């Protein structure tokens, strides 16, 4: 592990007089440090990439910086770390992203033995607006549905920076715009409550299918394929809207059917368990008690007594 105190900033071409950095890190990939044209044919670009990098750090890693005339998009790839900004400290797990002003004091440090993260340092006239939209004066961590989408964008930015030209500057500007815009869309979706009418068609169709076929052993992979999604992405997006994974939602549907049969029929518990898709009477009773705090028999007795 290299120990460096008050190292020269990789962005020293524009470091303010008050800028300072302190770090201890070993890079798994050499950062791409650049300072590209801020304008093309006299027109300022909204975003310009200054550097990108990927790191893998163990315990003892710490980095502090302030006073740098740039902004930083930062994302955890795996492991766990910590990001402090505007006096707020946030835990950073896989997929977690921040976008911050490097002029303000901030530090990052790892919380386990193998923290991997990537970043792109940018500047441009649009940066302050996007930082405000992202943080609103605080420190906001966004966790996307599909982290690979953002790491792919970062890889494409790094690749484009390897071929300096006005054309690639435009492409990098577009990629950074896409990166930040897509992240903010994730934030808005996370913060916006959904009514059933606002759910996408695929969510409504999937929930109806899970309800109607709750007694069957549906394969989630088959359900995801029905809506042209990868399984893990389907599960994450379904939970985003419904508050439950598809399996959890199916269990709730089974319980709703079971309570109806308990109150409206004289079927035995074994028969109800079978009709609701449970492998055994005992598993049905155990699941019922876990969700409702009483056994199916107690539930039925309570209905008859009332």
pLDDT of 218 reads: 87
CATH class of 15-191: mainly beta
- C-alpha–C-alpha distance, residues 58 and 26, integer Å: 9
For Cα atoms 235, 205, 265, give the angle at the middle one, nearest 5 degrees.
100
| Domain parsing of the chain, residue ranges | 15-191, 195-306
The answer on pLDDT for 60 being more than 90 is no
For 241-256, letters b (16+ CB in 10 Å) and e give: bbeeebeebbbbbbbe
84-107 pLDDT per residue, tens? 999 899 999 989 999 999 999 999
pLDDT at 89: 92
Q: List the structure tokens of 252.
A: 């709730």
| pLDDT band at 1; cut points 50, 70, 90 | very low
Structure tokens belonging to residue 217: 């052993």
| Rounded percentage of the chain residues whose pLDDT exceeds 70 | 82
Q: 58 pLDDT band (50/70/90 cuts)?
A: confident
Please report the pLDDT score of residue 4 as a whole number. 33
- CA distances from residue 302 to 114, 271, 286 in whole angstroms, order as listed: 54, 20, 18
For residue 40, the model assigns a pLDDT of 65
For the chain, the average pLDDT equals: 83
pLDDT class for 36, splitting at 50, 70, 90? low
pLDDT at 226: 92
Q: What is the CATH number of domain 195-306?
A: 1.10.10.60
- For residues 20 and 231, the model is more confident at 231
Q: Of 9-13, 203-207, 302-306, give the lowest mean pLDDT range.
A: 9-13
pLDDT at 23: 56
- Indicate the SS3 state at residue 89: strand
Residues 6 or more apart whose CB falls under 8 angstroms from that of 102 comprise 11, 65, 66, 67, 68, 69, 70, 71, 72, 121
Residue 42 — very low, low, confident or very high, per pLDDT cuts 50/70/90?
low
């Amino acid at each position: 592990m290299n120990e460096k105190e008050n190292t020269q900033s990789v962005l020293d071409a524009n470091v303010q007089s008050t800028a300072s950095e302190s770090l201890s890190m070993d890079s798994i990939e050499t950062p791409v440090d650049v300072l590209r044209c801020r304008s093309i044919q006299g027109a300022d670009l909204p975003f310009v990439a200054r550097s990108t990098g990927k790191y893998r750090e163990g315990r003892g890693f710490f980095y502090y910086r302030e006073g740098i005339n740039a902004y930083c998009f930062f994302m955890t790839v795996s492991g766990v770390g910590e990001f402090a900004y505007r006096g707020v400290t946030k835990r950073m797990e896989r997929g977690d992203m921040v976008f911050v002003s490097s002029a303000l004091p901030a530090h990052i440090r790892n919380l386990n033995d193998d923290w991997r993260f990537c970043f792109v340092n940018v500047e441009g006239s649009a940066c302050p607006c996007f930082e405000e939209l992202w943080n609103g004066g605080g420190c906001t961590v966004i966790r996307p549905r599909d982290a690979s989408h953002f790491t792919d964008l970062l890889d494409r930015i790094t690749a484009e920076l390897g071929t300096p030209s006005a054309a690639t500057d435009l492409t990098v500007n577009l990629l950074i715009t896409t990166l930040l815009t897509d992240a903010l869309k994730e934030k808005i979706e996370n913060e916006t409550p959904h009514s059933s009418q606002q759910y996408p068609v695929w969510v409504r169709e999937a929930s109806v299918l899970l309800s109607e076929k709750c007694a069957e052993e549906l394969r989630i992979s088959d359900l995801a394929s029905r809506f042209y999604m990868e399984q893990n992405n389907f599960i994450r997006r379904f939970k985003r809207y419904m508050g439950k994974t598809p399996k959890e939602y199916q269990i709730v549907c089974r319980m709703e059917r079971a309570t109806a049969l308990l109150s409206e029929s004289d079927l035995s518990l074994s028969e109800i368990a079978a009709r609701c898709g449970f492998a055994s009477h005992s598993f049905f009773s155990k699941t019922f008690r876990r969700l409702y705090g009483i056994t199916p028999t107690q539930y039925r007795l309570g209905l008859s007594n009332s």
